[in-house]
Amino acid sequence: MNARTPTLRAALLGALAAMAAALPGAAAAAEQDEIIVQSTTSTANSGFFDQVLPQFEARTGIKVKVVAVGTGQALRNAANCDGDVVLVHAPRAEADFVAKGLGVRRHPLMSNDFVIVGPAADPAGIAGMRDAAAAMARIAAAGAPFASRGDDSGTHKAERRLWRAAGLDPDPATDRWLRELGAGMGATLNAAAGMGAYALTDRATWLAFANKADLRIMVEGDPRLLNHYGVILVNPARCPNVNAKAGQAFIDWLLSAEGRAAIAGARVHGAQLFRPAEPQEKTR
């Protein structure tokens, strides 16, 4: 008995010390004024937040923690009260979110555009087209591989709008050229690069993406490719845990002249990532 006691006690003490070391982190985090923003991979992976958030944090002392998922998941997480602010890009789903009382109000924040990218060989012959729907129709007609997000994200919603605009309703079960990946934008672009497929991507992710391989921008400039971002405070009346004061301060700052300048100033490889919305723009 005596021989083993020190070993067990040492193990016990070690484990307790490890747990004690782990706990203060959680406790300290709760004291600082901070908010959780449920957002999308396009804003996080492009380095947008890395450039904008320090300016807000320096101004207000409020720490912003970004969870980057697809728009669909961001809205679902926020519906579970897991977040204070939503910053996503699917105006219709956002309006629905507010209509259900889950969010307070949608503020148009900024925009950029989607582009259709594809392999340099361009098997569907769409390079340089202006009409995005016609380009999508041509990809379908050629049966050229198309890498789809397939994850109910804002980009996936935009892709489905384009198929509908082309008068198509492709089904990945029978249309084998349509490859639904169920993955984020970056993973989808990696896959598209690997299998020589076309893909729809937001320009911010594309600009920052380092593994382009032989993918090129094929179609851009169609007004239907505009990509609108909105920002919403999660409804504190429904979710008492929401840090409404700090969340609203973040939204107010983003919409202020200083915030708009910060948004316009975010760049990757010298290119502007997003265009701030006009201050008087009507809520969509």
Partner 1 sequence: MQEFTDAFGAAFALLASGDPELAEIVGLSLRVTLTAVAISCLVGMPLGALLAIARFPGRGAAAALLNALMGLPPVVVGLATYLLLSRSGPLGALGLLYTPAAMIIAQTILTLPLVAALTRQTIADLHAEHDETLRALGAGRWATALTLLHDGRFALTTAALAGFGRAAAEVGAVMIVGGNIAHATRVMTTAIALETARGELALALGLGMILLGISAAVNLAAMALRARAERAAHV
Q: How far is the CB of 70 from partner 1 (least distance, A)?
A: 12
Residue 4 makes contact with partner 1 by CB under 8 A: yes
Stretch that binds partner 1, among 101-109, 182-190, 244-252, 275-283 (CB under 8 A): 182-190
Is residue 102 near partner 1 by the rule CB under 8 A? no
33 makes contact with partner 1 (CB under 8 A): no
Among 40, 43, 45, 201, binds partner 1 (CB under 8 A): 45
Q: Name the minimum Å distance from CB 196 to partner 1.
A: 16
d(CA 282, CA 284): 6
Interatomic CA distance for residues 22 and 237, integer angstroms: 33
3-state secondary structure labels for all residues of the chain? CCCCHHHHHHHHHHHHHHHHHHHHHHHHHHHCCEEEEEEEHHHHHCCHHHHHHHHHHHHHCCEEEEEEECHHHHHHHHHCCCCCEEEECCHHHHHHHHHCCCEEEEEEEEEEEEEEEEECCCCCCCCCCCCHHHHHHHHHHHCCCEEECCCCCHHHHHHHHHHHHCCCCCCCCCCCCEEECCCCHHHHHHHHHHHCCEEEEEHHHHHHCCCCCCEEEEECCCHHHEEEEEEEEECCCCCCCCCHHHHHHHHHHHHCHHHHHHHHHCEECCEECCEECCCCCCCC
Minimal distance in Å, beta carbon 127 to partner 1? Answer: 22
Among 105, 130, 241, 256, binds partner 1 (CB under 8 A): 241
* Among residues 56, 97, 163, 209, the one that binds partner 1 under rule CB under 8 A: 209
57 binds partner 1 (CB under 8 A): no
Round to whole Å and give the CA distance between 220 and 76.
Answer: 31
Does 239 bind partner 1 (CB under 8 A)? Our answer is yes
Name the minimum Å distance from CB 192 to partner 1.
11
Closest distance to partner 1 from the beta carbon of 168 (Å): 28
Judged by beta carbon, residue 239 or residue 254, the one nearer partner 1 is 239
Which residues from 58-97 bind partner 1, rule CB under 8 A?
65-68, 77, 80-82
Q: What's the rounded Cα separation, in Å, for the pair 50 and 273? A: 12
Binding status of residue 176 toward partner 1 by CB under 8 A? no
Binding region for partner 1 (CB under 8 A) out of 1-9, 105-113, 135-143, 169-177: 1-9
36 belongs to the binding site for partner 1 (CB under 8 A): yes
55 binds partner 1 (CB under 8 A): no
Which residues lie near partner 1 (CB under 8 A)?
3-4, 7-8, 11-12, 14-15, 18-19, 21-23, 25-26, 29-30, 36, 41, 45, 50, 65-68, 77, 80-82, 184-187, 189-190, 208-212, 239, 241
